[in-house]
Amino acid sequence: MADKAAVLILGGTRDALDLAAALDGRFDVVTSLAGRTSTPAQPRGRLRVGGFGGAVGMAKYLRSENIALAIDATHPFAARISANAAAACAETRTPRLVLARPQWQPEAGDNWIDVASPEEAASGLAALGNRVFLSVGRQDLGCFAECEGVWFLLRTIEPLGDDVPLGAHEAIVGRGPFPHDNELALLERHEIDLVVSRNSGGAATRGKLSAARVLGLPVVMIRRPPAPEGDVVDAVEPAVRWVEAAF
């Protein structure tokens, strides 16, 4: 692959997979995954799994692998890896692009409660509902540990195990996309009266929002963390054009 420019994709999203497929063949594509999922979808090109060791470790990797471009296509709430990527690329002067799918926007009939963080979402939750579909990352579950009188429905790609830091709850396993009708049936079956969600954007998990709209349920919507400064696109096609323009 020495004759092809090396492009690092920080992955873990559908967009990252699609981007790797679009670039593979013309470039030496390396997709990096954090390794939190034991059976991830396999991207085109090369794959590395595991952390870099912070910004310093990532900078070392960029140099050792002669990475020409880096594209941050991680989950919109993966703030730490995005910050590390920004710092590592600045240190090594590696051009960096952020591929961030558009945020969801409320539609007519939605009842969204905008909050800045999982901690803010947890405060006063019991006053809004007592059977909650909690759609946040595994690392944020602990923020809801003190919510008394609330039963939670959780859904993750892989089983959570026995160390869930919540009181009354049920955990189910599923991998998107989750169509509207399925989400509607899920919320009705579990008698959900409140949805808590991160504003991840994308079509794969949007169904819970349209289902909540039909049922007239409030949605506590957690804002995205601010992204590091730099070039940003919101779809795979302009990301491909950005890479092509660099050469």
C-alpha dihedral sign at 41, 47, 51, 56? negative
Residue 137's pLDDT is what? 87
- Please give the Cα distance from 115 to 222 (Å, whole number): 5
Distances (CA, A) of 177 to 111, 147, 205, 207: 23, 29, 6, 8
- The model's pLDDT over 39-76, given as tens digits with 9 standing for 90+, comes to 778 899 999 999 999 999 999 999 999 999 999 999 99
Q: Which residue has the higher pLDDT, 98 or 159?
A: 98
Q: String of b and e for 132-170 (b: at least 16 CB within 10 Å)? A: bbbbbeeebbebbeebeebbbbbbbeeebeeebebeebe
Could you tell me the pTM of the whole model? Answer: 0.89
Domains 6-102+226-246 and 112-222 share a fold: yes
CATH of domain 112-222: 3.40.50.720
Say if domain 6-102+226-246 classifies as CATH 3.40.50.720.
yes
- Of the candidates 19, 50, 45, the residue with the CA atom closest to the CA atom of residue 33: 50
- Please give the Cα distance from 119 to 111 (Å, whole number): 20
- Please give the Cα distance from 53 to 59 (Å, whole number): 10
**Taking the domains of the chain in order of start, what are their residue ranges?**
6-102+226-246, 112-222
Q: Which residue has the higher pLDDT, 37 or 169?
A: 169
Evaluate the omega torsion of the peptide bond into residue 177 and state whether it is cis, within 30 degrees of 0.
yes
Sheet (strand 169-173) strand order: 112-115, 219-222, 194-198, 131-135, 151-156, 169-173
- Please give the Cα distance from 139 to 22 (Å, whole number): 32
The token pair that represents 58 in the structure block:
């990532």
- The model's pLDDT over 211-223, given as tens digits with 9 standing for 90+, comes to 999 999 999 999 9
- The model's pLDDT over 147-185, given as tens digits with 9 standing for 90+, comes to 999 999 999 888 887 788 998 999 999 988 999 999 999
Which positions ≥6 away from 153 have C-beta within 8 Å? 131, 132, 133, 134, 169, 170, 172, 186, 190, 192
Residue 1's pLDDT is what? 46
The token pair that represents 128 in the structure block:
């809004």
Residue 206 has pLDDT above 60, yes or no: yes
